[in-house]
Chains A and B, each alone.
Chain A
Amino acid sequence: MDILITGILLGGTYALIAMGLNLQYGVARIMNLANGEILVAGGYFAFIAYTATQLSPILTIFLVAPLAFALNWLIYRVMLQPLVTRAKTRGQLETDSILATFGLSFIGVGLMLSFFGGDYFSYSFMAVPLELLGNTYGANRVISFVMAVLICGALYLWLNWSRPGLSIRAIATAPAAARLVGIDVKHLSALAFALGGAVTAVGGALISTYLTLDASTGVVFTLKALIIVIMGGVGDVRGTIVAALLLGILETVVASLLDPGLTLAAAYVMFLGILLFRPQGLFGKKPT
């Protein structure tokens, strides 16, 4: 029970990060491998804000989100849109965007290494025990989870009920048809990419309240987010959340019963299972 709840708490934040990536991949069609670096940057921001001005990470996210939004919007407009225009096929765009975002990812790590050094960073925010169903958990984990649920919920509502949200989902389903019914695909793709980056950075700020990060941990989170997105199905909010919770629980089970060093290996075995048996995602329909 203890393991299950810890797993769900972890999975909540994973869901947020994976939602960010899913927006970028599902709508803007960019497999953003620099996603983890955006996350770590969000974490750094929260860390600096907290140690310098005692600003609570819960408030910092309102600063992180617009900054990350602007940065990602710029990245998309300046670096990725030319690739979208240049690509003749979906496959070529995939290759190009993978290589370009790898480049961005390495540059991100390099910049963070030279600004902040290679040390791990962590700070103590609300590290008080909180009792839940007979067991105690760190209050920071619970608060991060609650925030993640709130943001995921808001995103879900926005995507399902607002006009831009619906247009974004239309692009995710059928980009060519979306253009025919008068949706500005170019503009909304940039918007979705920027929004995805903002969500990921917020996830990073939240995760930094209870996990220790360093400049080069980003790739681990990128991998986890990718596994969740593929497991949940590209462009599927519900699938992403279920997959993130499953991954959170699996990691906690492996870490507490087997060895904490094997968490990524466990995630990989799960990924392999998905690739072999359900490559279309947990809830995806088999392509005919």
Chain B
Amino acid sequence: MSLTATDIRNLCLSALALGICALLPFGDNGYWLGLGVTIAMFTALATSWALFSGPTHYISLATAAFFGVGTYVTGLGIETLPFWALVILAGGIGAVLAALVGLATLRLSGVYFVIFTLGLAELVRQAITWVQNNSGQKGLYVLTDLDEAGIYWWLLGLTALVLLGGWMIGRSRLGFALRIIGDDETVAAHSGINTARAKVLLFMVPGAVAAMTGAILAPRYVYIEPSLAFAPILSFQVVIMALLGGASRLWGPLVGVIPFTFLLEAVSSNFPNQTTLVIGIAFLVIVYLLPKGFVGLLDAVLHRINKTGAV
């Protein structure tokens, strides 16, 4: 892998930005840190989501399912295994689960995939509820000495990993193959790309990241039960944030995560019953006003400035 000077500069700048973000817990331990955790969590989720859905245009609603599985990995294993091992284990389980879902649905058209992932969280939730009812256990307690700042650093580390991984995938043969698939799947198949394999491989990334995010956040909930861990709204929030920012760039989702987190925060504290309405409107805004997200908007503006500058 050869790095140009721009690459090295960008990497250094990103590392610096991340370092500044890591200082947040020293400045504030209450409201802002809580918001920081939410933003870090959604950045990891939305960026990994866009890694798969950006090039392929498949809309995955499986985030909540993987996330919930991750929280349950921590919930079940916290007594026996160290926390870091659980996070890695959750990532592995999430990747395997994603591979299975991908193998079943990614050979088919996008609609099947959307429908299947839409119900996946509900499927796992019903199964876990059933097992719990039959074993007489109601929920799980996750008691650790991990505080809010610790969770924040864990999430920040995961986000850094996702961004780095995404950058590397973008430069690899797999990333190139996926861009061709996104442009024209027939062409991709004819030029010798195993399209199903490439899609399944890449779908494992958001699966693993969502499960790891769930595993990291489990201590924050303290008490885990299926309806909390598998809340389907999470999947939709991730889709909106990623598309609002723009899934065509690695940093695009971040641009969507920050404003939408603040918006939802403001709406849910002032009009708690209207969050569904806001999510609905956000979907329509994406489809009708910002089909390429903020990134697309920015590109268009820059393009116009360049054009007028040349004339």
- Where the two chains meet, the residues of A that have a C-beta atom closer than 8 Å to any C-beta of B are 31, 79, 82-83, 91-92, 94-96, 98-100, 102-111, 113-114, 216, 219, 223, 226-227, 230, 259, 261-262, 264-265, 268, 271-272, 275-276, 279
CA of A274 to CA of B236, assembled, Å: 26
Contacts of B232 in A (CB 8 A): 219
Contact assessment for B111 and A104 in the assembled complex, using a CB-CB cutoff below 8 Å = no
- Where the two chains meet, the residues of B that have a C-beta atom closer than 8 Å to any C-beta of A are 57, 59, 104-105, 108-112, 114-116, 118-119, 122-123, 126-127, 129-130, 133, 232, 236, 239, 243, 273-274, 276-284, 286-288, 291
Q: Could you say which of B59, B126, B130, B278 contacts A95, with CB atoms under 8 Å apart?
A: B59
CA of A220 to CA of B235, assembled, Å: 16
Contacts of A105 in B (CB 8 A): 280
Contact assessment for B280 and A262 in the assembled complex, using a CB-CB cutoff below 8 Å = no
Contact assessment for B276 and A99 in the assembled complex, using a CB-CB cutoff below 8 Å = no
CB distance from B119 to the nearest CB of A (A): 5
Contact assessment for B119 and A106 in the assembled complex, using a CB-CB cutoff below 8 Å = no
CA of A223 to CA of B126, assembled, Å: 15
Contact assessment for B111 and A94 in the assembled complex, using a CB-CB cutoff below 8 Å = yes
Q: Could you say which of B109, B133, B239, B277 contacts A94, with CB atoms under 8 Å apart?
A: B109
CB distance from A85 to the nearest CB of B (A): 13
Contacts of A92 in B (CB 8 A): 57
Q: Do A107 and B119 contact each other (CB < 8 Å), given the known contacts A91-B57, A259-B130, A279-B112? A: no
Contact assessment for A113 and B273 in the assembled complex, using a CB-CB cutoff below 8 Å = yes
How would you classify the secondary structure of chain B's contact residues: helix, strand, loop or mixed?
Answer: helix
Contacts of A108 in B (CB 8 A): 280
Q: Could you say which of A99, A102, A261, A264 contacts B119, with CB atoms under 8 Å apart?
A: A264
Contacts of B288 in A (CB 8 A): 82, 100
Contact assessment for A262 and B130 in the assembled complex, using a CB-CB cutoff below 8 Å = yes
Contacts of B280 in A (CB 8 A): 102-110
Contact assessment for B283 and A110 in the assembled complex, using a CB-CB cutoff below 8 Å = no
Contact assessment for A110 and B276 in the assembled complex, using a CB-CB cutoff below 8 Å = yes
Q: Could you say which of B114, B129, B239, B277 contacts A107, with CB atoms under 8 Å apart?
A: B277
Contact assessment for B57 and A264 in the assembled complex, using a CB-CB cutoff below 8 Å = no
Q: Could you say which of A79, A109, A275 contacts B276, with CB atoms under 8 Å apart?
A: A109
CA of A102 to CA of B287, assembled, Å: 11
Contacts of A100 in B (CB 8 A): 283-284, 287-288
CA of A272 to CA of B286, assembled, Å: 31
Q: Could you say which of A106, A109, A276 contacts B104, with CB atoms under 8 Å apart?
A: A276
Contact assessment for A265 and B276 in the assembled complex, using a CB-CB cutoff below 8 Å = no
Q: Could you say which of B57, B116, B283 contacts A103, with CB atoms under 8 Å apart?
A: B283
Contact assessment for A103 and B284 in the assembled complex, using a CB-CB cutoff below 8 Å = yes
Task: Sample 25 A-B pairs with CB under 8 A, ordered by A number.
Answer: A31-B111, A92-B57, A94-B111, A99-B59, A99-B239, A100-B284, A103-B281, A103-B284, A104-B280, A106-B280, A107-B280, A108-B280, A110-B276, A110-B278, A110-B279, A223-B119, A230-B115, A261-B133, A265-B127, A265-B130, A268-B123, A275-B105, A275-B116, A276-B104, A279-B108
